[in-house]
A and B are shown apart, each in its own frame.
Chain A
Amino acid sequence: MKLQHYLGGLEGIDTEPLNFEKRVFVEPWETRIFGIHVAMMGLSKHLNKALPQYPIENVPTKFNSIWTWADLRKGAEAMNPFDYFRFRYYEKWLGGISSFFVQSGYITQEELDARTATYLEKTDAPNPSMFEPAIDDQVIDYLHRGDPAIREVDRQPKFNVGQKVLVKDVPTTEHTRLPGYLRNKTGIVDEVYQGAYAYLCSTGADGLGEPMYVYSVKFDPKDIWSDITQSNSWVYADLFEVYVEAAE
């Protein structure tokens, strides 16, 4: 198991009360790595097969990889759990995205380190000049039209509203959309969403990728955590069909 898959219900991570930090970015540099990630998603090579069929081959970028949320998440899920907690949200992005560009051969570790050392000295050095509106337009077009997941399938949902379902304990892989705290727990199907949802990549033995139905499953917290005696609360999770089976 990976701790990052099991955050829900984990206790004692930090002192109470919670930090109610309402800013989106707490350091100005964080805005830049956010922008880089969005640009990568908007230039991802898989977008020619997305429903809007973006003309990605015609975009004059040297970016030649697939990059989606799944890739960013794989990086975060692969981290040593201590580092996951040690680094702030956008520090994890910076580490993951920098490593991706080095490992994919776009840049070398040496040039990244050397350039970092330079900018530590010259903090207000200007960025290089390269103007290519067609790159920027594609990224904005991606923000406008997104990457819709619903696909036509020739089958019906396996489960119905009101049905009791058991969450499977699927094998752990590099990425999942199954919250760990729900594994082996039973809940009630509250809604069957219309349409079958493909996922951004195959998650292997975890089971995502091909289009499948998604259910809103309602859980009683008392059925998840045995130390809860009364709560008057419910947890609703959106679960892909491959993650559940009929209970009893």
Chain B
Amino acid sequence: MSERFSYRDDREAYNAARVKALESLLIEKGIISSETVDKVLGFFETDFGPFNGAKLVAKAWADPEFKARLLSDTPAAIAQMDFPLGMAGAEGEYMKVVENTPKVHNLIVCTLCSCYPWPMLGLPPYWYKDPTFRSRAVKEPRKVLQEFGLELDESKEVRVWDSSAQIRWFVLPERPIGTEDMSEAELAALVTPEAMMGVAQVKVPA
């Protein structure tokens, strides 16, 4: 929506200098260390990220008992996995999974901000944080999904989950046809963050 407003000519250069100034001052004043920000960013590369959610989805597809547990008691199912430490940590204290089926499609949103299940999905993409998605997803989810390339049959029920308290929601997508012979690792490689947010289906590469 940038064309509606005016900005400094050096908008991004200024922002970059501003944040660098802030970080360097915080280091000098003893608030954070020279390594704090890098360590946080590294943590989101290796420990919290959609690679965890993808493994969870793949296991649920492969193991019906695990899937039942994931849907009824998400933290218990996550605790069974061979994940790094901290899967019930920040923004993952109370996670819940909803299942897409041939009859029901789920979509997650946070109309008040950008609440998101960090340990399983990492950090949210820009579209999810955009006020335009947040305003439209609750009122016209089918149209929003259509604009994202997902056409749903009129007969399919759509459930939109507004993350307005402490539960952090994500979606167990439908397993695509033609994946019967795949290993869990191969299945996990197909699962995108968008599929776990309910704006895309999992597809098998042609």
Contact = CB atoms under 8 A, between A and B. Distances in A.
Contacts of B161: 236
Interface in A37-56: 38-39, 41, 43
How many interface residues does chain A have, given as a range?
35 or more
A84 B13 CA distance: 20
A241 to B, nearest CB: 10
A33 interface: yes
Given A20-B148, A24-B124, A116-B14, A146 B167 contact: no
Given A9-B138, A131-B35, A142-B90, A39 B40 contact: yes
Given A130-B30, A149-B93, A238-B167, A16 B147 contact: yes
Contact of A144 (B33, B34, B86): B86
Contacts of A27: 12, 15-16
Interface in B39-81: 39-41, 43, 47-48
A193 B164 CA distance: 14
A171 interface: no
B202 interface: no
A191 B104 CA distance: 18
Contacts of B136: 11, 18
Nearest to B98: A236
Given A112-B21, A179-B164, A130 B28 contact: yes
Interface in B108-139: 111-114, 122-127, 129-136, 138-139
Contacts of B134: 7-8
A14 B79 CA distance: 42
Interface in B1-49: 1, 4-5, 7, 10, 12-41, 43, 47-48
Contact of B15 (A5, A91, A147, A178): A91
B130 A116 contact: no
B33 A10 contact: no
B162 interface: yes
A96 to B, nearest CB: 12
Contacts of A179: 111-112, 162, 164
Contacts of B135: 7-11, 13
Nearest to B132: A14
Contacts of B144: 18
Given A89-B129, A233-B157, A239-B164, A62 B38 contact: no
Interface in A216-243: 216, 221, 224-225, 228, 231-240
11 contacts: A7-B112, A8-B135, A19-B126, A22-B126, A118-B21, A119-B18, A127-B20, A233-B142, A233-B160, A234-B157, A235-B162
Interface of A: 4-5, 7-11, 13-14, 16-24, 26-29, 31-36, 38-39, 41, 43, 60-63, 69, 73, 76, 82, 84-86, 89, 91, 94, 97-98, 101, 106-107, 111-112, 115-120, 123, 125, 127-133, 135-136, 139-140, 142-150, 176-179, 181, 193, 197, 214, 216, 221, 224-225, 228, 231-240
A-B residue pairs, 7 tightest by C-beta: A35-B37, A144-B86, A115-B21, A238-B165, A17-B147, A233-B158, A119-B17
Interface of B: 1, 4-5, 7, 10, 12-41, 43, 47-48, 85-86, 88-94, 111-114, 122-127, 129-136, 138-139, 141-142, 144, 147-148, 154-167, 193-194
Given A128-B27, A140-B40, A234-B158, 18 more contacts: A5-B112, A32-B37, A36-B19, A62-B29, A63-B31, A85-B5, A86-B7, A106-B29, A112-B18, A119-B24, A127-B20, A128-B34, A131-B35, A144-B86, A147-B90, A231-B142, A233-B157, A238-B165
